[in-house]
Amino acid sequence: MTEPSAPTSPSTPTTPAATPPVAPSAPVAPGAAAAPARQEWLPETYWDPQAGTIKPEFGAHYAEVAAFHKAQTETQAALAARKPEDIKFEVKLPETVKVPDGMDLKINENDPRVPVIREMAIKRGWDQDTVNELVALDAQQQIAAHAAEQTRIAAEDQKLGANSKDRKAAVGNWLKGMKDRNEFSPDEYEAVRVYAVDAAAVTALEKIIAKAAGSVPGHQPGNPPPSQPKTVAERMYPQYASSKVS
């Protein structure tokens, strides 16, 4: 069996929630339009809130922006219309950068980077000044590498001694003679010649030359130590000088 449920009490009427009063809107004169608001695309500098109009200065600003956009568009179109051969490679270094004596900076058209830079210049819209800056940067790196190599060679010359110039020339002439007599191929000659500036390479080649020719031109060793003076017996009886008395 189940117990009867408790009787329900009659519902209590609820009072509706009070709504906040709405402020009365400002009266608008019959037939008058609302004041225009500034559009988001217009900078506040060129808006007159009192008059609700664009300031006259905006016309000059717009004309300036339009002219700039037109010039940029035409410039980019002209850069994109170039052919690869229209892009020149010139070495134009800053005035503060000097080319060392004996170094000749030239553009190598066979450099594989040349066609790549030309393609990128057209694709990216690089002007000639930008290409010149890239070429100048590469030239300055070559100058720095040349200076470092000269410093290294000077250190190698110190290892070879005071007659390092003659020793290197002698080794170089011997290598060239081998090539001229077809005992070295041109490739073999170039492969060996580039190392004939290092002290260890020059010394090794001198040993090879000495084995082949008996001496190395340009490499004058020190004087041999003086011999001991001979005794009277050695001078008068040389046939008995080497005999020993038991």
Please tell me the predicted confidence (pLDDT) of residue 170: 93
Please tell me the predicted confidence (pLDDT) of residue 217: 55
Contact 170, 217 (CB under 8 A): yes
State how far the Cα of 145 lies from the Cα of 153, in Å rounded to an integer. 12
Residue 71 CB-density burial (10 A; 0-12 exposed, 13-18 middle, 19+ buried)? exposed
State how far the Cα of 219 lies from the Cα of 162, in Å rounded to an integer. 11
Residues sharing a CB contact under 8 Å with residue 163, sequence separation 6 or more, in sequence order: 218, 219, 220
How much is the pTM? 0.57
Spans of the chain below 50 pLDDT? 1-26, 28, 220-225, 243-246
Give the torsion through C-alpha atoms of 138, 142, 144, 148, to 10 deg: 150
